[in-house]
Amino acid sequence: MTKNNTHIAYFCPSLSWGGLEMNQLRNAEWMHNRGHKVVILLQKGSRIHQEASANGISVDFVQPHKKYFDFGKAAQLIKKIKQHNITHLIVRDPKDMSVCSLAKSWSKKKFFLAYFMEMQIGIPKRDLLHTIRYSSFDLWSCPLPWLKKQVKELTRFPSEKTLVIPSGLSLDRYFNAPERQEAKTLLDLDTNKEYIGLVGRFDEQKRQLLLLESFNQIKDKIHHDLVFLGESTHGESDAYFDKLKEYVRENKIEKRVHFRPFRPDVETFYSAIDVFVMATKSETFGMVTIEAMAAGCKVVGSNQGGTVEILNHGEFGELFETGNAEDLSNKLMVSIANQDFDANAVKDEARKYDAEIVCNKVETALGI
């Protein structure tokens, strides 16, 4: 199938704006830039609608649907597929799998249905209902090998249709980030100090408090300060952020801990820090870990989820016992003291997640 007769639809009726929605948009943009005809099926007025329109990506509107057995919305989706002459439909949210499966089963127009996995499988889904639903899919793409293993163990989806294709990033901006001293100046940080850093929304799942506790244990043994880049989730309470600031005040570490608002040039943050921490309990993939590696940071990450494979079981960073502040403290000390750290080797490892490589794999998997 050539680019001229390929039309890829990215199904994303979510009103949220997180990693899943960003990945749908990012991949749509990449395929558009590579000459494919692309449309995003989304809710009118959603954040992804705004972002797609700003970036010149074609959109069409769909209504929110029930998680299961929404026959009416499946029929409406079939009309959209016929209207746009869709050849490939891409799904990333597991909540969208049912309605897309129904559309594939009923549609007289044949199209390729692909699920690009963004979330772990929580419980076994080897029952008849899930097996029938999944049978409509032509491809199940997993960003890391451990997730492919989950698919094999927890579903009956055919292994020959299950592939590992990493979630990609445009990495040039991280490879070419500002020099460290300049980055520190841009972040209004002391250029004479080194920093441990964490980027992400202020949320219990990101475990900024765990890092604060670990830092407090070793603050008198190291010269590094601690810096956070992020903000509270839009529309939600600042209670967790307030809790972090209260901990800083109670432990009298205001001069050693710095909070900076999120900024679009996140590569500047990575360039300013020496050690990056991924403290989340179990990140399915962990884009920020790859960003930090591409910027040449030392990385200390939780020993669960995708971080383990991204760091190749400790070859490209330190792994600490998830949720254990003392072990995180110890691994921070090891990372800081590591005189043999090879930033170029870490950058080279990050290159396999570059968008160009990932897009080639996606095109091969989709047969386009």
pLDDT tens digits along 55-81? 999 999 999 999 999 999 999 999 999
Residue 49: pLDDT band with limits 50, 70, 90? very high
pLDDT reported for residue 234: 61
Sheet holding 275-278, edge to edge: 257-260, 225-229, 195-199, 275-278, 298-302, 318-320
Stretch 252-261: mean pLDDT, rounded? Answer: 97
pLDDT above 80 for 367: yes
What does CATH list as the number for 172-352? 3.40.50.2000
What does CATH list as the number for 3-165? 3.40.50.2000
Are 273 and 196 in contact by the 8 Å Cβ rule? The answer is yes
pLDDT reported for residue 73: 97
pLDDT reported for residue 282: 77
pLDDT above 60 for 2: no
The number of CA neighbours under 13 Å toward the Cβ of 361 is 19
pLDDT reported for residue 21: 93
2-11, 123-132, 246-255, 345-354: the lowest-pLDDT one? 2-11
Are 22 and 94 in contact by the 8 Å Cβ rule? The answer is no
> What is the DSSP secondary structure assignment for residue 232, as one 8-state letter?
P
pLDDT reported for residue 232: 78
Residue 198's alpha-carbon distances to 229, 235, 297, 314, 343, in angstroms, are 6, 22, 12, 19, 18
- Domain boundary assignment for the chain: 3-165, 172-352
pLDDT reported for residue 17: 86
pLDDT above 70 for 1: no
**Separation between Cα atoms, residue 204 and residue 209, nearest integer Å:** 8
Residues in Cβ contact with 282 at an 8 Å cutoff, skipping those fewer than 6 apart: 120, 302, 304, 305, 322
Residue with tokens 């999120």: 262
pLDDT reported for residue 57: 97
* % of the chain at pLDDT higher than 90: 90
The answer to whether the 3-165 and 172-352 domains have the same CATH topology is: yes
The rounded mean pLDDT for the chain is 95
Residue 201: pLDDT band with limits 50, 70, 90? confident
CB atoms < 10 A from the CB of 244, how many?
18
Structure tokens at 315: 């070859």
Structure tokens at 86: 């869709």
What confidence tens digit (pLDDT) does each residue in 162-190 have?
999 999 999 999 999 999 999 999 999 99
Backbone φ and ψ for 84, nearest 5 degrees, come out as: -95, 0
pLDDT reported for residue 237: 74
Alpha helix stretches (DSSP H) within 107-193: 128-134, 145-154, 172-175, 180-186
Residue with tokens 């968008």: 355
Are 32 and 53 in contact by the 8 Å Cβ rule? The answer is no
Residue 235: pLDDT band with limits 50, 70, 90? low
> Rounded to an integer, what is the distance from CA 269 to the centroid of its chain?
18
Are 330 and 222 in contact by the 8 Å Cβ rule? The answer is no
**β pairing state of 195-199 and 225-229:** parallel
* % of the chain at pLDDT higher than 70: 98
Are 278 and 299 in contact by the 8 Å Cβ rule? The answer is yes
What confidence tens digit (pLDDT) does each residue in 297-331 have?
999 999 998 999 999 999 999 999 999 999 999 99
Are 110 and 104 in contact by the 8 Å Cβ rule? The answer is no
Residue 5: pLDDT band with limits 50, 70, 90? confident
Residue 140: pLDDT band with limits 50, 70, 90? very high
Q: Taking phi first (over 0 means left), then psi (-120 to 50 degrees means alpha), and beta for anything else, what does residue 217 get?
A: alpha
What confidence tens digit (pLDDT) does each residue in 335-358 have?
999 999 999 999 999 999 999 999
CB atoms < 10 A from the CB of 45, how many?
9
pLDDT above 60 for 10: yes
Are 287 and 167 in contact by the 8 Å Cβ rule? The answer is yes
pLDDT reported for residue 3: 65
